[in-house]
Amino acid sequence: MTLGRKRLGLVIHSYWQRWHSGLATATIPPFGSELAVLKHVRELGAGSFQITVKGWDLGLAEAMRREAEAAGLKLEASLDLPRDAADAVRFERELALAQHAGMTILRTWIGGRRYEDFTTREGFDSFKTRAQRGLELAEPVVRQRGLRLGVENHKDFHAAELVELLARIGSEGLGTCIDFGNNLALLEDPLEAVEALAPLVVTTHIKDLAVQESAEGFRMAEVPLGEGVLDLPRMLAIIERANPRVEHHLEMITRDPLEVRCRREGYWATFPDKPRSELERTMAFVRAHASSELPAFAGKTPDEVLVVEEENNRRCFAASAKLGFAAAGPR
């Protein structure tokens, strides 16, 4: 498969340690600013960069735009949905800054890990109501500015639930930010989740996962592209058919594996109608594709962690040509 002249992009979460966690050492100093991260991403050869705009001012937005244009690199914004009518003012201000930076595509997320954050179906239903209200507040602002907002499948909604939520609002301005692996934590087939979400795709987080069975369920961890269990070529082909203009952003989060405790009864609290056959199918998949070892960072020095993070990102960009992405260079 070919992606034409598209180069692999990157989402800021791929620098989870150095940027989000603020981990830094004398040999690997902090980035210092969003502009410094952008310059580093440019050196990697990325074709697009998705980054949060919270706390920006007009000067930073314009500087980011100039740097991106000089690199032939697209920018996308990541921002939180408005919590209520008062917070919609913040949301619109961030949209304006995103536009000053040349961004027309936005990514948002709604919640965290459903199976950890909620202990009752009623609690999850209240969250779902708040989510719909946030989207309803965001939609007219996004539409009036001629932008598009992709909602990530963030271990909160099944793929069909997210599609239904977006269909209730029914706006061309709202769609999906497809994460290639998140729905495995909800015991959904990742390929089937991509197929369900692709008709609405606005942007993506491309990743690969390694898995391993555990006493309470299974563990999953991001690994460099092509080294995990996800069928990345088929996923990319499905998304490209649905939206050939979409950009794909590497989300290579360097961290300890996530534990999905799907054998605990508490995991099922918000899934009263979920068939247990999905557990059996997922565990069979995990056993068939299990890695003997998953990445682990306990006991590693900050320097060691940061070296691995940088190496992981570079290995992903080196592997991107095998997936059909163009080599680094001007568009």
Contact predicate 85/137, CB 8 Å: yes
Contact predicate 165/131, CB 8 Å: yes
- The model's pTM: 0.96
Angle value at C-alpha 118, between 115 and 119, nearest 5 degrees:
95
Mean pLDDT of the chain: 95
Percentage of the chain modeled with pLDDT above 70: 98
Which sign, positive or negative, has the C-alpha torsion 207, 213, 217, 219? Answer: negative
What's the pLDDT at 330? 45
Identify the residue whose tokens are 């989207």. Answer: 135
Contact predicate 132/87, CB 8 Å: no
What's the pLDDT at 2? 64
What is the average pLDDT across 17-25?
Answer: 92
Residue 110 buriedness (CB in 10 A; 0-12 / 13-18 / 19+): buried
What's the pLDDT at 5? 85
Please give the class, per CATH, of domain 9-322.
alpha beta
Percentage of the chain modeled with pLDDT above 90: 94
Name which of 73, 75, 31 is nearest 53 in CA terms.
Answer: 75
Does residue 45 register a pLDDT over 70? yes
What's the pLDDT at 328? 66
Name which of 83, 76, 102 is nearest 202 in CA terms.
Answer: 76
Q: What residue ranges do the domains of the chain occupy?
A: 9-322
CB atoms within 10 A of CB 217: 21
Express each pLDDT in 94-128 by its tens digit: 999 999 999 999 999 999 999 999 999 999 999 99
Angle value at C-alpha 63, between 59 and 68, nearest 5 degrees:
150
Spell out the SS3 assignment of the chain: CCCCCCCCEEEHHHHHHHHHCCCCCCCCCCCCCHHHHHHHHHHHCCCEEEEECCCCCHHHHHHHHHHHHHHCCEEEEECCCCCCCCCHHHHHHHHHHHHHCCCCEEEECCCCCHHHHCCCHHHHHHHHHHHHHHHHHHHHHHHHCCCEEEEECCCCCCHHHHHHHHHHHCCCCEEEEEECCHHHHHCCCHHHHHHHHHHHEEEEEECEEEEEEECCEEEEEEECCCCCCCCHHHHHHHHHHHCCCCCEEECCCCCCCEEECCCCHHHHCCCCCCCCHHHHHHHHHHHHCECCCCCCCCCCCHHHHHHHHHHHHHHHHHHHHHHCCCCCCCC
Contact predicate 127/155, CB 8 Å: no
Contact predicate 105/148, CB 8 Å: yes
Express each pLDDT in 167-207 by its tens digit: 999 999 999 999 999 999 999 999 999 999 999 999 999 99
Name which of 305, 280, 311, 284 is nearest 229 in CA terms.
Answer: 284
Express each pLDDT in 255-304 by its tens digit: 999 999 999 999 999 998 999 999 999 999 999 999 999 999 989 999 99
Express each pLDDT in 143-177 by its tens digit: 999 999 999 999 999 999 999 999 999 999 999 99
CA 50/CA 76 separation, integer angstroms? 4
Express each pLDDT in 68-94 by its tens digit: 999 999 999 999 999 999 999 999 999
What's the pLDDT at 329? 52
